[in-house]
Amino acid sequence: MQSYSLTDFLTTSALLNYQLCARHLNWNSVTMVILEGRPISETDQAILSQVFDYVRNVYGKMKRNLGPLSVLHPIRATALLCHASEKINLLDMMTCLLHDTFEDFKPAQFKDSDWINLDTAFQSFLLALPELDQRRLRAQLQWLTKEPSENYYHYIGHLLDQAGGRPEAVRVKLADRLDNTFDMRIDLQDPMEGVDFFEIAFQMVFSNTYKGYRPDKPHQPTVILNGAQRLYQLFKNILLLSLIRQKKATANDDIAQALFEALAQASMKEAQRIALHVFGYHDPDTTKFRKILMDTMAYSQTGGFDQVTPPNPESRLNGLLMTVFDQPEREARKAQLKALYDDKAFMIEVALAFVIIFMNFLNDSDYFIHGISAEGVRPEE
């Protein structure tokens, strides 16, 4: 499987951003980065260049939360998708480049003349495809569009039901979430570079002489996206991976399966970063961390992470997914995440819980969390 590390992602992101900032933008160079130098036909490159122009114009000067231009997201997600693919698939690339456009952009957001120009450009590259591919592209973009009335699990369930046995839209959704998971940090390199999370956990549990984890670098507060907000993004990954597993939506598709594993791995690593960051900078009490590790291990061994559990006072991990993260209303979610952020010991415990959950996805090809469905996050009867 292609290596998907945060450091590799940051390198690819920098290369693409460098190209996008060029005085004379060359889409052939962008394609070279996406495909890692693999050749593409002149016909396909011409169509891709039209799509690149379209997404650049439709996104305009919009920016991501961390600051880079928003158009970087679909281009980067397409690179992640292509890294998992041995063969170049033009329709997959186009779907990934356009995956947010139906959801994020409506005619009312543009001047009439600008929207007409954008629609003309869309129709131009659409008509360059065979008729069957035109229908598939439109259908896949519609499946990938979240309606305003849908919760996230409703949306994913609907997407998987519509996609049926066709994995293309699933591949794109996984690449989209993989990019969103990596795109929570604007570091120069992975803060976990050279750090072995599992060695630290082993030392903490089994060695009485271990002095604890102390980061080498000074603390640099992040005002844009804190640890609790990152954990919410990982919660969305848990929903996605559980629903995909229930529907067996990656079965018989090596690309979707590679992206599934990459997302589980990236999510597990991010949960590790959060746990060690909080322990190293905010709550470095070794005795407390050891107890959290032991309690979380015991909870896992009883099957607590195999299903959605109702809240009860025996453990704060009971009801975790329901009470802390499953908050459809934005203000209620913000309040819950603020409470989580203010409780550093609980943040460590939640991050450790997520490490275990994503490890389970990687260890067991049949694993998913029972109680997560397209209808919601509730304990099974």
Looking at residue 166, what is its pLDDT? 85
Confidence of residue 328 (pLDDT cuts 50, 70, 90): confident
* Terminal Cα distance for the chain, rounded: 38
Looking at residue 4, what is its pLDDT? 80
Looking at residue 192, what is its pLDDT? 86
Confidence of residue 223 (pLDDT cuts 50, 70, 90): low
Percentages of the chain per state (helix, strand, coil), in multiples of 5: 65, 5, 35
DSSP lists the bridge partners of residue 373 as 376
Confidence of residue 237 (pLDDT cuts 50, 70, 90): very high
Give start-end residues of each CATH 1.10.3210 domain in the chain: 6-143
Cα–Cα distance, 61 to 68 (Å, whole number): 10
Determine contact, residues 153/372, Cβ cutoff 8 Å. Answer: yes
Looking at residue 259, what is its pLDDT? 97
The average pLDDT across 71-77 equals: 97
pLDDT at residue 28 above 60? yes
pLDDT at residue 271 above 70? yes
Cα–Cα distance, 290 to 204 (Å, whole number): 6
- CATH number for 6-143 (one of 3.20.20, 1.10.3210, 2.60.60, 1.10.3470): it is 1.10.3210
Q: Which two tokens stand for residue 44?
A: 């396909």
Three-state SS annotation for 60-116: CCCECCCCCECCHHHHHHHHHHHHCCCCCCHHHHHHHHCCCHHHHCCHHHCCHHHHH
Determine contact, residues 77/96, Cβ cutoff 8 Å. Answer: yes
Looking at residue 3, what is its pLDDT? 62
Mean pLDDT of the chain: 93
